[in-house]
Amino acid sequence: MNKKFLTLGLASLVSASCFSQITPLKPNQDAIKFSKAINPENAYKHLSVLASDEYEGRETGTKGAWMAADYISNYFKSLGLKAPVNGSYFQKIDLVNVTLKESQLTVNGQPKEYQKDYLVSPSLISDKGFTFSTDEIVFIGYGIKKDSYNDFAGTDIKGKVVMMFNGGDPTLKPGTKIDRAAYRATLEARAKYFAENNVKAIILIDPAVDRITENTKQTLKKGRVMVKTNAAIEAQKQNETPRVSISVALANELFKASNTTVADLQKKITESQAPASKVLNVPFSASAAKTETPVRCENVLGYLEGSDPVLKKEVLILTGHYDHIGLETDPNAKDKVNNGADDDGSGTTGVLLMAKAFTDAKKAGKGSKRSILFMTVVGEEKGLWGSEWYSEHPVFPVENTIADLNTDMIGRTGEEYLGKPDSANYIYSVGSNMLSSDLGKLSEQVNATYTKMKLDYKYDDPKDPEQIYYRSDHYNFAKLGIPIIFYYDGMLQQDYHKPGDEVSKINFPLLSKRAKLTYFTAWELANRPKRPVVDMDGKGNPKK
């Protein structure tokens, strides 16, 4: 699961299902028969490979991820699934590795040293590169405008080079928990203000530059991968203002003529709760250019065509992300592989198990009426890249896509359920009522009929500080108005994004039961006369 918080706002729902009060469905014996392929033994077979040390944590754009993609595509082929991307199981993604081609920075005409005095992020450089020079820098403190505090008061930044601290808020007391929504709003307001004033360049005072180690230098030298989605390209066009991070030591050199230092300014601003913005008359110039190198990267898709002449035009998508975060960067780490067994080897395994069950059914003449797309996506840990790419380049028309069921972490017991009686019989169900009351009701009925698990709706709460609804691949389908359900075990502390997320800690019977819940829900969706109606506004409220 991705760490990032993407947006805010949800509608409250009940905390857990009570299937004793729900009218169950008539059990489908065919569905039950073919669900037998979803079992702990088959789950272990797949996950012990995908989450092995050999796969090196499956980081996007690396050998481990390519090995996982090949394993999945070969398995889809062995099942007889169609290759839906012009005869391929791979939907190629425009991923590039961005490295710094060249850079220069001078103060008072004297050249400064890259990785000692300053840094430039290649991914933030426009395709044209940048060059700027100035004799006047406008220092704007923290670049914050809120309540009675305003770093921009009495300053003219129009067309100027501005300098500011990289992060921090002097109006908050030490230890105050950051309101992420308010912080994001502050950043967006600042970016808008900079754009309106046509700011020439931004210099960030960043203590991290002073602490660069040899290990960090090697990491920076390798560059950074980024996917060139339409959204990313547009965002870069709207944010082409040059940015340079400088050390505290270099910042103090710039402040020298004003008889002050970074530490003095921070103390003064915090104690007075008043800005200390000022103009520095110092000759400053910088330039940089980047190089982009294509990197292999793909979603893996397997297609099962429906049996009904009319309904087969409609597609149900089953997703799980096969990437993880790769190897540890700490050279002293005893365990260097972040195996990602639960995150999201477990969900990927669930997709493979369901693919086996549905293809077995079709071979026996019991194929689903609607078509099913089994899709394991890449780049989720980088920012939901694979699902975003599919949302911009759908293989099947969006209007024909009836739902997405997403499994991301379904193999362990989360912190809140450790030691509880239902620790091996629950799942967090996220988003089932956000766009479709039909889907929410169906999910409850399927569970009451087949699996009888506790469906916990905690993460549908708008006050959820983790904002789980926005942090996995289903969200890129929800943004298109496609109903979704996200199945998740709630593991956010123990071994999350750590080498301890190992196969040995997976509860395979529980993984299989959760995958069966997804499978039975998919069976109903793929065979019902009508697709789930979209009657909710995306936040769990009825459409007006």
Please give the pLDDT value at position 12.
37
CA distances in angstroms from 46 to 39, 75, 242, 250, 438, listed in the order given: 11, 10, 46, 53, 33
Mean pLDDT of 375-399: 97
**Is 14 a residue whose pLDDT tops 70?**
no
| Cβ-contact 527, 367 below 8 angstroms | no
- Per-residue exposure over 120-154, b if at least 16 CB sit within 10 Å of its own CB, e if not: bbbbbbeeeebeeebeebbbbbbbbbeeebbbbee
Q: What tokens does 306 get?
A: 């429906």
What ranges make up the beta strands (E) of 270-419?
278-280, 284-295, 298-304, 315-321, 371-377, 401-407
**Is 447 a residue whose pLDDT tops 90?**
yes
Q: What is the pTM of this model?
A: 0.87
Q: What is the pLDDT of residues 299-346, one digit of tens each?
A: 999 999 999 999 999 999 999 999 999 999 888 899 999 999 999 999
Per the DSSP assignment, residues forming a β-bridge with 142 are none
Please give the pLDDT value at position 9.
38
Find, among 411, 301, 387, the residue nearest to 6 by Cα: 387
Cα(208)–Cα(542) distance, rounded to whole angstroms?
48
**Is 17 a residue whose pLDDT tops 70?**
no
| Cβ-contact 281, 138 below 8 angstroms | no
Per the DSSP assignment, residues forming a β-bridge with 486 are 406, 430
Please give the pLDDT value at position 399.
98
| Helix ranges (DSSP H) in 56-210 | 63-79, 180-196, 207-210
Please give the pLDDT value at position 13.
41
Residues 6+ apart with CB under 8 A from 137: 160, 161, 162, 163, 203, 254, 279, 280, 282, 284
Cα(40)–Cα(424) distance, rounded to whole angstroms?
14
**Is 510 a residue whose pLDDT tops 60?**
yes
Residues 6+ apart with CB under 8 A from 234: none
Residues 6+ apart with CB under 8 A from 523: 28, 31, 368
- Domains of the chain, start order: 19-93+297-527 (3.40.630.10), 96-293 (3.50.30)
Percent of residues, the chain, with pLDDT higher than 70:
97
**Is 8 a residue whose pLDDT tops 60?**
no
**Is 463 a residue whose pLDDT tops 80?**
no
The distance of Cα 385 from the centroid of its chain, to the nearest Å, equals 7
| Cβ-contact 392, 399 below 8 angstroms | no
For residue 447, give the DSSP letter: I
Q: What is the pLDDT of residues 290-301, one digit of tens each?
A: 999 999 999 999
**227: phi then psi, degrees, rounded to nearest 5:** -95, 140
Cα(165)–Cα(174) distance, rounded to whole angstroms?
17
